[in-house]
Structure 1
Amino acid sequence: MRKIIITTVSLFFSVSILAQETKKDTVNSLKEVEIKNKYKYKREKSTTVSRMPLNNIENPQVYNTITSELMKEQVVTNFNDALKNATGITRLWESTGRGGDGAEYYSMRGFSVQPTMINGLPGINNGSIDPINVDNIEVIKGPSGTLFGSSLISYGGLINVVTKKPYSTFGGEISYNSGTYGLDRITADVNIPLNKDVSLRVTSAHQNEDSFQDAGFSKSFFVAPSLSYKVNDKLSFLINTEFTNRTSANAPMIFLNRGVLLSFNSMDLFEKNYNNSFTSNELTMSNPTFNMQAQMFYKISEKWTSQTVLSRSSAKTNGFYHYLYDAGNGDDFYRFISKANSQTQGTDFQQNFIGDFKIGNLRNRMVVGIDYLNLNQRNGNAGWLGNGIVTLSTGEDTGVLSSSGVDNLLANSYAGNTTSENEVISAYVSDVLNITDKLSVMASVRVDKFISKTGKSYNQTTVSPKFGAVYQIIQNKVSVFGNYMNGFKNNAPTLQLDNTYSNFKPEHANQYEFGLKTNLYKDIISATISYYNIDVKDKVMSDAAFTTFRQGGEVNSNGVEISFTANPIKGLNIIAGYSYNDSEVVKDELDDTYIGFRPEEAGPRALVNLWASYAFTDGSLKGFGIGFGGNHASEFNVLHRKGIGSFTLPDYTILNSALNYNTDKFNITLKVNNLFNEKYYSGWSTVTPQRLRSLIAGLTYKF
């Protein structure tokens, strides 16, 4: 550790950065910066959660916001570390890079979800999201099918990334981070006003990092140009683009056997192999990703604005994917391997009309929209073949781990070309009606037509409603709220074991929720307390081999969430959260395997997050700051089935700390993650060791 600190400190003095002198900010820009610095853990208003501008305290839906200021303070270099600041969310799977669903999986309100939304629009990826272009992350809770459809979100909610946008003055920053496990990361964020109407902003990151295990690495390059153009007082354009090129060698997922009596009863063998990756740096996966969003805003009148959006996403997978599967003898795991070559593409078109008007004396805020989404995936993969056995008791691995050796193994195993394509055509309307200054109600509905063009052609139509009410006990300070929200899942025709297709009607999830929101003491304390209950009906369930599917399953998920953000005194910022979730399968249409059990995707029952920082604002220590916090998760069953058994991952508490020195031009930060080098795991019918203690040092030059 001492050697790492000395090396890192020396980097501070060896890195030099060239920059231009800045133009003076406008008064409005200065005010905006001051507000962000004072309340850097909050964004009180969102334009995407309800698809209209709405303050948090008047929104009947619960969401958490993770700001870019908080991520900078914590020296966040990956998406998972950012999400650790949100209440009630935890990672189940790391990114596998495989086609279609290779992004990270998280659990929220008892259901798995992936980060697939950017600025409220589809943003597909098979790898991971770089935080450099993130202004804030909105973790939106509950089934949100009415405004966001069903193809890219879950019953637990959605993760929406709000990107950085161009602004009217010149400015930016360049940063360099270095740390343990070979971390080298350089980032840039530059905003250039081309003239008084056109501004260009470019964010970029290049990162190399090794695994904490004996093999594995990630190497990525990211660039995101965005352009804003104000044509006149009525018409403006905003174009966002993102290009990612990521190559990695990922440790194989370690699956417990889901079809036989569980043969593991302790963590001993997994702890013995905590640092073993069971891969090599030759077995790499490449995940190029592209996202583009072009938006046109036209002010029709003082009361109505038109928003026209075209978005395009592409995520490719090219390389080796392998996993380990429990042999059922309490020691051995079979390795299965393939070489993937696939591409997922998404095209989305939206037309929204956003209004703020009165009928009589009653204020209405309304969005009326149509949405067309096309998703298609093309695969040309090698076949799946066995590649050795991993024995945990000895660490022995009989597989081939060279790229040439695996290529020889997979020769002539080509599985053929496959394609899948789905279309969704939707229309929705949502209205927030202020009955009085303190009482408002929301009513929303979506009509959704799903068209499957895969295998057997099929289409179905679904109606999804949403209702909410907010009463502000103290206007703009304290409100009570309640909501009824619906989510749904369209099911394409499903191939059964007998090689025939079955059609299933849409699944539905219905949530009711009520709680309290506060924004007290000149906006320096914000809190949300809520209780929710989600019932899922008509769930399609399968056997362990995913060969037989039946519809009619039912799941109940309920719990409480408490979120807290505060700036009680100058320089002190706190963000904290607690969640408890109780989920249960109440009906299993197939074979009663899951009845009475907590779903494996539900993750830990209890989650706690905390981060507090203090920055000295005057005196001889002015500019210095300190931060401390961490996360706690209760024990949870990653395998939990009748006739098979339960395997429990232990609870854990991870603590982190940071020191920083900040001036108008420079920021120097030292961050320690997993301060006490705790061994801990994540999983979803899998057992995945998580990163041990790491040290990151960062230097930023601002201009």
Structure 2
Amino acid sequence: MKKTVLPVILLGSLSGVYGQSDSLKIENITEVIINHTKKYKNDNAFAVSKLNLKDIENPQVYNSIPKAILKDQVSTNFNNVISNATGITRLWESTSRGGDGAEYYTMRGFSTQSRLVNGMASFNNGGLDPANIENIDVIKGPSGTLYGGSLVSYGGLVNIQTKKPYDKLGGEINYILGSNALNRVTLDVNTPVKNGLFLRLNSAYHTENSFQDAGFYKSFFIAPSLKFVASERLTFLVNSEFKSNETANAPMIFLSRYAPLSFNSMDVFDAGYEKSYTSNNLTTQNPTFNLQSQMIYKLSDKWTSQTQVAGSSSKATGYYQYLWDSSNGDEFTRFISKANSETLATGIQQNFIGDFTLGNMRNRLVVGLDYLNTKVINNDSEWRTFGTVSLKNQADTSPLTSQGADAALLDAKVIPATAETNIKSAYFSNVLNILPQLAAMVSLRIDQFSGKPTQWSTEEIESQATFSPKIGLVYQPILNKLSLFANYMNGFQYLTPQKVTDASSNNPSIKIFDPERANQWEVGAKANLIDNTLSLTASYYDIKVSNKIMADPANINNSIQGGEVFSKGFEISVVGNPVEGLNVIAGFSKNKSEQISGDEAYNGLRPEEAGPEMLINFWANYKIPNGILRNFVAGFGFSHASEHKTLNRTGIGTFTLPEYTVANAMIGYHPENYSISLKMDNIGNTRYYSGWSTVTPQRLRTLSLALGFNF
């Protein structure tokens, strides 16, 4: 069978013998040999824990989505790929606005965005292109200990591992065409240069129209990467990504947050399901740049140094608009602004990773230092009203042209604003094998924060220190086959200072708040079944967020801390290849969330960011291994979500998006050097919605044809 060297960062290899560990070899750190069977696995070792730790040894739950799934599912966007992780679904599509224009997802009851690439900060205000993805790690729970509080949410984080050079000549060219004028070309070329120098280039060109009456997406993406093996001890890796895109997004349809709901059913939205309420003249551009460099140095047989430096830039220029409920049962008012902003991030990280024994006990230890600087430079215009939309009559009073928008914004001022943060961190995480079957993880992080917590903050925090611990325990009654685990994890978020006064509106002052804190405990089991070809994870978690800001009942001009939110639930994930040729990835999650105290508008209610209570994902792909039908492929999958309370507030009301099930299927022919695939998404042409105090129609049935050539 043909084999290819694909790079992933692995720090040594685990020994199955208690108290022994293999020497750390630089070739094991930078690459691992796998074959073209493209088996699904949920073991991404170092990328998840920064340690040489198998999934079954890790007390934390995560889902790894390998690049093989992208090809099997003919995926052309990030949302299609990440939906293979258990318990995650999209709340907001990309708005392309500055600062936080990327897609919003929810997991374990809390919203999150993808802001990590190879473990380092990387911001994106538009849609992510999947062309350079080697693996996506969806790491569950408040992971403040290893990643801090500014890049992750209490429900977890999304970390993208990029493709890296390997030591042979090879590559792949793919072309996908399909519904809504989809045209997508991708290129992946790898070549040795000389004397330990290897180069890889990934690129994509993508154009696609909306399923609605207007809207489009056009992008060009290129990602050159470099690996230089300077010696047996020293290796350098450089990854860069450039993306230029232009899009005409349908405006977000916001339900009113300040007046009682004037809608009581989906009928008014179903009538305009294929209406975009925009035009292709009102576009936004999101050029992005990301550069990362990494130096891996073998200090000894037991210790390795990993140094990483990263910088990213994401801009938003053009028109940004949204529709706001006029609270009359029909109309929405359009607001528009001229966007012109940039988000910058610079990070430096130093890790020392050890794998050694003290007495008879094995230790796997990472000690790290981390620095992150972020800056948002905002030169957006003021907001202006720009007509109204009637959902019942499908009437729009706006002149949806760039000239019309410019006329509406003629007197809109630009008020420059800059928000900058600096975070300095130190952390360690150690896994100690107390017995062959018993291991304990102890981790701690300290963050020192200064700056503005969000781009909308008006006041700065001069200096704030936060500790974040993590404890885990793993017991393997059957070594490398079955593990029982428990964890305690902590996360945090810095809060914006507020101006407060006494009850008479006198004696104004700036009030600094302690960070919000999330504490999770979790128990569960992991198993490697059917000769280690199928992995299963089942867990129950309980997360409580405290220190939420709430109104002072004794002073309407003051705010106090003490609000609480809880989120609890269970998840089951299955991934693997139980029989030859068959790959399966599936998951089930059930989440219960409620605000216990804090803002009276939310107390006793499920938070809107929590999303649907129940989520199911399933995909099975079978490639016939032998016989006259050898290399024919068929795949089928579906996703299911229960109803979602997109707006849920006391005094305002509850608006519920209905449950849905969307099925997809693929057939193809995949011999060694080329591939042909035909994919149908949303087979039943189901109408369904997402939202977060919004109502957003989702894509209808599409058909895609993919052609690929490997060399």
User: Normalising by structure 2, what TM-score?
Assistant: 0.92
Deviation at 1:83, TM superposition (A): 1.1
Task: Tell me the residue number matched to 2:586.
Answer: 576
**8 Å CA contact retained: 2:449, 2:461:** no
Secondary structure, counterpart of 1:593 in structure 2: coil
Q: Over residues 205-255 of structure 1, what are the superposed CA-to-partner deviations in whole Å (9 max), with x where a residue is unaligned?
A: 000000000000000000001100010011110001010111100000000
State how many pairs are aligned.
Answer: 674
Q: Unpaired runs of 5+ in structure 1?
A: 1-23
Deviation at 1:473, TM superposition (A): 1.3
Change (3 A) 1:410 1:70: same
Q: Unpaired runs of 5+ in structure 2?
A: 8-30, 453-457
Q: Over residues 575-613 of structure 1, what are the superposed CA-to-partner deviations in whole Å (9 max), with x where a residue is unaligned?
A: 11000000000011x4x1111100000000000000011
Task: Tell me the residue number matched to 2:11.
Answer: none
Aligned partner of 1:109: which letter? R
- The aligned runs of 1:44-443 (5 Å cut-off) are 44-443=43-442
Aligned partner of 2:474: which letter? V
Secondary structure, counterpart of 1:349 in structure 2: strand
Deviation at 1:34, TM superposition (A): 8.6
Instruction: Measure the CA separation in 2 of the matches of 1:107 and 1:28.
Output: 31
**8 Å CA contact retained: 2:377, 2:418:** yes
Secondary structure, counterpart of 1:408 in structure 2: helix
Change (3 A) 1:181 1:572: same
Change (3 A) 1:34 1:372: closer
Task: Tell me the residue number matched to 2:443.
Answer: 444
483-492 vs 180-189, greater mean Cα deviation: 483-492
Secondary structure, counterpart of 1:45 in structure 2: coil
**8 Å CA contact retained: 2:450, 2:460:** no
Deviation at 1:25, TM superposition (A): 6.1
Decide which of 531, 534, 549 is 1:525's aligned counterpart.
Answer: 534
- The aligned runs of 1:524-563 (5 Å cut-off) are 524-540=533-549, 550-563=560-573
Secondary structure, counterpart of 1:440 in structure 2: strand
Instruction: Measure the CA separation in 2 of the matches of 1:125 and 1:111.
Output: 20
Instruction: Measure the CA separation in 2 of the matches of 1:313 and 1:445.
Output: 27
Instruction: Measure the CA separation in 2 of the matches of 1:548 and 1:216.
Output: 45
453-462 vs 153-162, greater mean Cα deviation: 453-462
Instruction: Measure the CA separation in 2 of the matches of 1:61 and 1:358.
Output: 23
Decide which of 617, 629, 640 is 1:632's aligned counterpart.
Answer: 640
Instruction: Measure the CA separation in 2 of the matches of 1:436 and 1:120.
Output: 31
**8 Å CA contact retained: 2:491, 2:519:** yes
Decide which of 656, 662, 670 is 2:670's aligned counterpart.
Answer: 662
Instruction: Measure the CA separation in 1 of the matches of 2:323 and 2:371.
Output: 39
Instruction: Measure the CA separation in 2 of the matches of 1:456 and 1:330.
Output: 41
Q: Over residues 431-466 of structure 1, what are the superposed CA-to-partner deviations in whole Å (9 max), with x where a residue is unaligned?
A: 000111111100000011001166445221000000
Deviation at 1:664, TM superposition (A): 1.4
Cα RMSD after superposing both structures: 1.9
Deviation at 1:523, TM superposition (A): 1.3
Secondary structure, counterpart of 1:54 in structure 2: coil
Instruction: Measure the CA separation in 2 of the matches of 1:136 and 1:251.
Output: 30
Change (3 A) 1:457 1:524: closer
Q: Over residues 18-55 of structure 1, what are the superposed CA-to-partner deviations in whole Å (9 max), with x where a residue is unaligned?
A: xxxxxx967999xx999554462214232121112211
Q: Over residues 45-72 of structure 1, what are the superposed CA-to-partner deviations in whole Å (9 max), with x where a residue is unaligned?
A: 3212111221100000000011100111
Q: Over residues 453-500 of structure 1, what are the superposed CA-to-partner deviations in whole Å (9 max), with x where a residue is unaligned?
A: 664452210000000011111111110000000000112424679896
Task: Tell me the residue number matched to 2:519.
Answer: 510
Is 2:478 the partner of 1:474?
A: yes
Secondary structure, counterpart of 1:336 in structure 2: strand
Is 2:621 the partner of 1:613?
A: yes
Deviation at 1:186, TM superposition (A): 0.2
Secondary structure, counterpart of 1:70 in structure 2: helix
Change (3 A) 1:495 1:118: farther
Task: Tell me the residue number matched to 1:587.
Answer: 597
Instruction: Measure the CA separation in 2 of the matches of 1:564 and 1:272.
Output: 39
Q: Indicate the percent of aligned positions where both proteins have the same amino acid.
A: 54
Secondary structure, counterpart of 2:532 in structure 1: coil
42-51 vs 650-659, greater mean Cα deviation: 42-51
Task: Tell me the residue number matched to 2:497.
Answer: 493
Instruction: Measure the CA separation in 2 of the matches of 1:43 and 1:636.
Output: 29
Instruction: Measure the CA separation in 1 of the matches of 2:467 and 2:33.
Output: 45
Instruction: Measure the CA separation in 2 of the matches of 1:285 and 1:523.
Output: 48
Aligned partner of 1:470: which letter? V
Aligned partner of 1:516: which letter? A
Q: Over residues 54-112 of structure 1, what are the superposed CA-to-partner deviations in whole Å (9 max), with x where a residue is unaligned?
A: 11000000000111001111000000000111100000000001111000000000000
Instruction: Measure the CA separation in 2 of the matches of 1:97 and 1:665.
Output: 38
**8 Å CA contact retained: 2:540, 2:570:** yes
Instruction: Measure the CA separation in 1 of the matches of 2:404 and 2:576.
Output: 56
Q: Over residues 276-330 of structure 1, what are the superposed CA-to-partner deviations in whole Å (9 max), with x where a residue is unaligned?
A: 0000001000001111111111111111111111100111000100000001111
**8 Å CA contact retained: 1:538, 1:552:** yes
Change (3 A) 1:154 1:406: same
Aligned partner of 1:507: which letter? E
Aligned partner of 2:705: which letter? A
Task: Tell me the residue number matched to 2:575.
Answer: 565
Deviation at 1:553, TM superposition (A): 1.4
Q: Over residues 378-415 of structure 1, what are the superposed CA-to-partner deviations in whole Å (9 max), with x where a residue is unaligned?
A: 11111100001100110000112100111121113123
Instruction: Measure the CA separation in 2 of the matches of 1:71 and 1:28.
Output: 16
Secondary structure, counterpart of 1:344 in structure 2: strand
307-316 vs 35-44, greater mean Cα deviation: 35-44
User: Normalising by structure 1, what TM-score?
Assistant: 0.93
Aligned partner of 1:218: which letter? Y
Secondary structure, counterpart of 1:115 in structure 2: coil
Aligned partner of 2:49: which letter? S
Aligned partner of 1:676: which letter? G
Aligned partner of 1:587: which letter? S
Instruction: Measure the CA separation in 1 of the matches of 2:79 and 2:4.
Output: 35
Instruction: Measure the CA separation in 1 of the matches of 2:357 and 2:184.
Output: 51
Task: Tell me the residue number matched to 1:8.
Answer: none
Instruction: Measure the CA separation in 1 of the matches of 2:84 and 2:377.
Output: 36
Secondary structure, counterpart of 1:431 in structure 2: strand
